[in-house]
Chain A
Amino acid sequence: MTQAYQDTQQAGATIDVRYVANLARLNLTDAEVATFQAQLSQIVAYVNEIRALDVEGVEPTAHAAPVRNVFRDDVVVPGLEREQAIANAPEHSADLFKVPTIVE
């Protein structure tokens, strides 16, 4: 564990924090970019350890339990009242969730 941690200090990890934050729709201050860039570069370098492992022919695990075909019947059940749904909105008109103008 400690060895792996030290190894990562040298590995050449690449993450462009500003670019990725934009994909995630996250504004960052310059200070945050600097901090995260250093921290995440170190973390990515550590994570690079798994790239050395031989996983040839190994099936990926997406779910922890091997369950299939889980369905519900096509039946309408009552949801939220409009007032209830709208009540949580930071901004709304009478019956719509309000956002700044969408340019399509």
Chain B
Amino acid sequence: MGKYRTTIGLEVHVQLKTHSKMFCGCGTDFGAPPNTHVCPVCLGYPGALPVMNRDAIRLTVISGLMLGCRINSYSKFDRKNYFYPDMPKNYQITQYDLPLCLGGSVEIEVGGRVRTIGITRIHLEEDVAKNLHYATWSGIDFNRAGVPLMEIVSEPDLESPEEASAYLLALRQILTYAGVSDCNLEEGNMRCDANCSLRPADRVELGTKVEIKNINTVKGVQGALEYEEIRQAEALDGGRTIVQETRRWDADLGITSSMRTKEDAHDYRYFPEPDLMPVALPAEQVAAWKAALPELPQARRERFVAQYGLPEYDARVLAAERAVADYFEAALRLIPGSPKAVSNWVMTDVLRVLSERTIDIGRFPIPADALAELIGLAEKRVINSNTARDVFALMLDEGGRAGDIVKTRGLAQVSDTAAIEKVVEQAIAENAKSAEDFRQGKAAALKFLVGQVMRLSKGKANPQMATEMLVARLGKG
């Protein structure tokens, strides 16, 4: 691609995590039977009127604050007029010239290069209904119509498909950190449109912009933009001009195609929504929200290194998701002396289970304080590390507290010299051949004998003491 420079801007739509819709009291839960979350307002009945969901406004402002935006002191809603079957009123309530948030940025890192991507604006609007297509007709489910949708518009600062996907991931991380959205792509609560243009490397002015719609995954963003880069480069190579148009990404075919649009000319005829009053948030309100903002992922990463002395790698893994980082810190609070041990447990054992069971940490069966108790027992050598893993497995499947499990099952490590000595003697007696091997200098035999001690003690012997005693009994070997 050395011949051309790519310029990309993204418009990301994020469904906000509210209980009710943007302008009415209907529920927002995903997967309900069709047309069961509907009312006169979200069906666009004659006479029904919208009333703003306070939390949708709050969550949008919090998103803006997390992304470093300026919060407009005066904001309003507008009607965007166009006819489509998924639009109950045949206009969408959105924000045209006075959005809630302006400016802001997101930092991304691609191939070791850190770049700051500008955010133009964030506005709030209502989602549309879902169209379902059958052989001879289409059907409409209005459950989603009116769900609060936040649109984050980036500056055309992205220079490659990789950067676009990195931007989307960074945005998703920050928004889930902010707790404003689940950003669950499967449930469609994060969707995006991309604007993409190519220009010869030696030219300054941007090329003709093509809009790509229907991108619903992070992989899709990269795929769609890679396809567009090639398509536009081939066109430019062939001396053809790029048509300014809207194209549709087909994830199955991996191509974009010109959208057949019946609207001969889009003329949205925006005007202020007379049914909604302007929003003028008091500065103190915005300041209070700002004061209560969660830490940004990057700041948290840095703090994990500085405060807990964790390696950079650990900090990155633990801080990737807010809920995981919260879990880690909740456990660490109970055993503040062992950050690395807690980190190891969370990174290896906890995250492994999450990925095996494809669940998120909210549904992980072992609460943070229970894990901390288990790690504490292992750290104090009440149980050895193998036992700790067994107890972890028990807690995972049956629940319970580590202390209770260790007590009722008699799993505490034995460190009593006389007791271990008895087992060591038994192990030597039952494995004379191995004892002899060790005396002859075969170091591996010692490991076997320690294993036998552990077996005979049902795993409870302090392995270090057992090793020392075997060496003392059998001579240096």
In the complex, are there CB atoms of A and B closer than 8 Å? Answer: yes
Q: Would you call A72 and B53 a contact (CB within 8 A)?
A: yes
Q: Decide yes or no: A63 and B274 within 8 Å by CB, A70-B52, A96-B132 being known contacts.
A: yes
Q: Is B207 an interface residue (CB 8 A)?
A: no
Please state if A75 and B35 are interface contacts (CB–CB under 8 Å).
no
A68, A74, A97, A99: which has the most chain B beta carbons within 10 Å?
A74
Query: What distance in Å separates the Cβ of A37 from its nearest Cβ neighbour in chain B?
Result: 19
Task: Tell me the interface secondary structure of chain A in the complex.
Answer: loop
Q: Which of A5-13, A28-36, A76-84 contacts B (4 or more CB under 8 A)?
A: A76-84
Q: Which of B38, B137, B262, B277 contacts A79 (CB 8 A)?
A: B38
**Which residues does chain A contribute within 8 Å of B39, judged by CB atoms?**
79-80
Instruction: Collect the chain B residues with CB atoms within 8 Å of residue A95's CB.
Output: 33-35, 141
Which of B38, B138, B142, B274 has a CB less than 8 Å from the CB of A102?
Answer: B138
Chain A residue, CB-CB nearest to B42: A79
**Contact B248–A104 (Cβ < 8 Å):** yes
**Chain A 1-52 interface residues, beta-carbon cutoff 8 Å to B:** 22-23, 25
Tell yes or no: B252 within 8 A of A by CB: no
Query: Is A72 within 8 A of B51, CB to CB?
Result: yes
Binds A, one of B19-27, B157-165, B221-229, B370-378: B19-27
Q: Which of B18, B76, B264 contacts A74, CB < 8 Å?
A: B18
State in angstroms the CA–CA spacing of A96 and B259 once bound together.
26
Candidates A62, A63, A72, A76; contact of B26 at CB < 8 Å: A76
A76 to B139, CA, bound (A): 25
B365 to chain A: which residues have CB within 8 Å? none
Q: Select the residue from B25, B55, B56, B262 with max chain A CB neighbours within 10 A.
A: B25
- Cβ contacts B35-47/A at 8 Å (1 or 0 each): 1111110110000
Q: Is there an interface contact between B51 and A104, defined as CB atoms closer than 8 Å?
A: no
B281 and A69 contact, CB distance less than 8 A = yes
Q: Specify which of B51, B136, B137 is in contact with A71 (CB 8 Å cutoff).
A: B51
**A68-B280, A74-B20 known; A100-B138 Cβ under 8 A:** yes
Q: Which residues of B1-42 are within 8 A (CB) of A?
A: 18-20, 24-27, 33-40, 42
A101: contacting residue among B43, B83, B90, B137, CB under 8 A: B137
A sample of 12 more A-B contacts (CB under 8 A), given A75-B20, A76-B20, A76-B26, is A68-B278, A68-B280, A69-B279, A74-B18, A76-B19, A79-B39, A82-B36, A85-B142, A96-B35, A101-B136, A101-B137, A102-B85
Q: Which residues of A contact B (CB under 8 A)?
A: 22-23, 25, 62-63, 67-80, 82, 85-86, 93, 95-104
Residues on B lying within 8 angstroms of A by beta carbon are 18-20, 24-27, 33-40, 42-43, 51-57, 76, 83, 85, 90, 131-133, 136-142, 248, 259-260, 262, 264-265, 267, 269, 272, 274, 276-281
